[in-house]
Chain A
Amino acid sequence: MIRVVLPAHLRTLARIDGEVELSVPGQVTQRSVLDALEARYPVLRGTIRDHRTAQRRAFMRFFACEQDLSHEQPDAPLPERVVTGAEPYLIVAAMAGG
């Protein structure tokens, strides 16, 4: 299972308590994780990525394994420790956005 941690304002919006665990079919990438997340919680569509372009919103960041993945290609494989569930995939509200 892929573990996803959302910022507080999106947990409140989607009525999520704690981490999200997602089953992601196929290769585990940022795109496939976010697709699975938005499929489970449609209210999150448009709040992390643009509806049409799927581009990351400017003040949302993606971290994992102490790396900033925000500028990585969306179809690049995520680190193995994220794939195995040892480490969470972090969706972070940048300090500039509030």
Chain B
Amino acid sequence: MSGIRVLVGTRKGAFVLSSDGKRERWDVSGPFFSGWEIYHLKGSPADPDRLYASQSSGWSGQVIQRSEDGGATWEPVGNEFSYDGTPGTHQWYDGTPHPWEFARVWHLEPALDDPDTVFAGVEDAGLFRSTDGGRNWQELPGLREHKSGSSWQPGAGGMCLHTIILDPAERTRMFAAISAAGAFRSDDAGQTWRPVNHGLHSEGIPDPNAEVGHCVHRLAMHPARPEVLYMQKHWDVMRSDDAGESWREISGNLPTDFGFPIDVHAHEPDTVYVVPITSDAEHFPPEGKLRVYRSRTGGDEWEPLTRGLPQQHCYVNVLRDAMAVDSLEDCGIYFGTTGGQVYASADSGDNWAPIVRDLPAVLSVEVQTLP
């Protein structure tokens, strides 16, 4: 029978949650790297026992961990992230130039077909790649060196490159997203990049329709239809049908279009999930009701999913990398909260139950569907 492995990064360690295909009973292991912030863990699509984890702390900076056995044991690998050349400046919060400084790895994206190749999205925004299983990291400087780079500004959480999507059809195409610069696309395996933000509208920047400067929170793609992208922006849920060349708003009847994560059903490319959050100032669900919203029409029309989720006095947040789906026949949906709960639905979101309730604040959730 198939199995499910949920990789959870929290403020104070990593956890691995395992179940069989029924997804009713769960084994919880961890904390791994206890006391450290684990921004993200992810498994290689080419070798599900190969996992990578981003471990960091205010004291000791960045560590990258690698597992060869599905998270049972881990080995620290390389942690030197040096920008290529002299990195120059971006804008600071007050608009003054600020030197590019490495802070941490937000997101790890293993290559589709090689367990030893993995990409890292970092703060201050940059894209790195390792081709030796995480031991050595080289920047792909074309993104940071885009002519608009000196005008990028951090979002409230820092100037992070938080989303990396590898196109499974056009193997040299990649997408990245940066808060608060926007979405970017490469068609040459990450060597050169261009902004793909046409159609975004952000009231909080001087030119609401600018080429860059948008606070994109998350991008999502269904691998069977890679030209379609979904985006949760600071405000607005957006969709592109042309690989980012243009975007249109699909917020429709959402109670608020602010939020962080967005994801797509494993078997239905037009079924999309978001977690509406009240506002940029109020990082909790509207009315204290934790509701996942699902669109079965590729956006515009949304339905609240509430069964099994707290519908009163709930004031948690769901961060941008904290939602994932499995690929079992009945698609499972998972998300983690800043209150330490990890919720799972084994029926595309109709019914939910917590796997765990009392972890440290959840930063990221990834899911592996095991043979």
Contact = CB atoms under 8 A, between A and B. Distances in A.
Interface in B52-66: 57-63
Contacts of B82: 51-52
B34 A7 contact: no
Given A9-B35, A13-B76, A98 B58 contact: yes
B79 interface: yes
Interface in B78-107: 79-80, 82
A7 B61 CA distance: 14
B107 to A, nearest CB: 20
Contact of B60 (A10, A51, A52, A96): A10
A96 B61 contact: no
A63 interface: no
Nearest to B37: A98
Given A45-B79, A51-B80, A52-B82, A9 B61 contact: no
A47 B61 contact: yes
Q: Counting chain A CB atoms within 10 Å of each CB, which of B57, B58, B60, B61 scores highest?
A: B60
A7 B58 CA distance: 13
Contacts of A13: 60, 63, 76
Interface in B29-67: 34-36, 57-63
B60 A98 contact: no
Given A13-B76, A43-B76, A48 B60 contact: yes
A55 to B, nearest CB: 12
A12 to B, nearest CB: 7
Most buried by A among B36, B58, B59: B59
A74 interface: no
A18 interface: no
Given A9-B35, A9-B36, A98-B35, A57 B60 contact: yes
Contacts of B62: 46
B80 A93 contact: no
Contact of B34 (A12, A59, A94, A97): A12
A98 B57 contact: yes
A36 interface: no
A37 interface: no
Contacts of A10: 60
B128 to A, nearest CB: 14
A39 B15 CA distance: 31
A60 B80 contact: no
Contacts of B60: 9-10, 13, 47-48, 57, 60, 93
A52 B63 CA distance: 16
Interface string B4-38: 00000000000000000000000000000011100
A94 B63 CA distance: 19
A57 B61 contact: yes
B57 A97 contact: yes
Given A51-B80, A98-B35, A46 B59 contact: no
A32 to B, nearest CB: 21
Contact of A59 (B36, B58, B79): B58
10 contacts: A13-B76, A43-B76, A45-B79, A46-B61, A46-B62, A47-B59, A47-B60, A47-B63, A51-B80, A52-B82
Interface of A: 7, 9-10, 12-13, 43, 45-48, 51-52, 57, 59-60, 93-94, 96-98
Q: 4 closest Cβ contacts across the A-B interface?
A: A97-B59, A47-B60, A97-B58, A93-B59
Interface of B: 34-36, 57-63, 76, 79-80, 82
